[in-house]
Amino acid sequence: MDALRPLGVDPALLIAYVINFAILVFLLRLFLYRPILNMLAERRQKIAEALEQADKVRQEAEVQRAEFQRELEEARKTSQEAAARAAQETEKMREAILVEARREADQIREQARQQIELERQQVMAELQRQVVDLAVELTRKVLGQTVAVDEQAQRQLIRQFLQEAGDLS
C-alpha cells in the first residue's frame, strides 16, 4: 500500500472510501434497490394483469360482437320471413277478393238473366193479352155487334193458338 503514497493516495483514506462505499451499497440495496425491485415487480404484475384483463375484455367483446351479428342475422331472417308471409297473405287476400268479385259478378249476371227472362215472359204475356184483345175486337168488328160472341171461349181459343204458334218457333 505504500506504493500508492507516491501517487498521492492515502491507503487509510482509500480503505475508508471502500468501507463507506460498501456501507452505501448495502444501505442502497437495503432501502432503495429492494423497494425499486419490488415496485418494478408489482408494476410488471399489474401490467400483466391489465393485459390479461384487456385480453378477457377483447374476447368478451368478440363473443358479444358474434352474438350481436347472430341476432342481427336472425332479425333479418325473421323480417324477411315476415315480409314473405305478408306478401303471401296479401296474394291470398287478393285471390280471395278476385274469387269473391267473380262470384258476385256471376251472381249479378244470373240475376240479370233471370230478370230479363221474367221481363220477357211478362212482355210476352202482355203481348199475348193485347193480341187476344185485338183478335176479339177484330172479330167483333168483322162479325158485327149483333152477333153474340162468347168472348171467354174466343179468348181461350186465341190463347191456345198463340201457345201452339209459340211452341212451333
- Region 118-139: mean pLDDT is 83
Name the phi and psi angles at 149, rounded to 5: -115, 135
Q: How far apart are the first and last CA of the chain?
A: 165
Measured in whole angstroms, the distance separating CA 86 from the mean position of its chain's CA atoms is: 6
pLDDT tens-digit map of 67-76? 999 999 999 9
User: Is the dihedral angle over the CA atoms 117, 120, 124, 126 positive or is it negative?
Assistant: positive
pLDDT above 80: residue 94: yes
16-20, 37-41, 133-137: which has the minimum mean pLDDT?
A: 133-137
Structure-model confidence comparison of residues 14 and 162, the more confident one: 14
- Rounded Cα gap, residues 149 and 157, in angstroms: 12
Q: Which amino acid is at 140?
A: R
- Among 16-20, 30-34, 37-41, 94-98, where is mean pLDDT lowest? 30-34
Average pLDDT, the chain: 86
Residues 116, 117, 122, 127: is their CA dihedral positive or negative?
A: positive
The per-residue pLDDT for 146 is 46
**In the block, which residue shows the cell 332479425?**
75
Distance CA 51, CA 148 (A): 134
Q: Which amino acid is at 70?
A: R
The answer to whether the CB of 16 falls within 8 A of the CB of 6 is no
Predicted confidence (pLDDT) at residue 126 exceeds the cutoff of 90? no
**Domain boundaries along the sequence of the chain:** 2-168
Angle CA 14–16–18, to nearest 5 = 70
Better pLDDT: 69 or 137: 69
| Helices and strands: H and E segment counts in the chain | 3, 0
Average pLDDT over every residue of 25-48: 89
Classify residue 14 as left (phi > 0), alpha (psi -120 to 50) or beta: alpha
Per-residue pLDDT, 12: 84
Judged against a pLDDT cut of 70, whether residue 86 lies above it is answered with yes
Residue 152 near residue 160, CB atoms below 8 Å: no
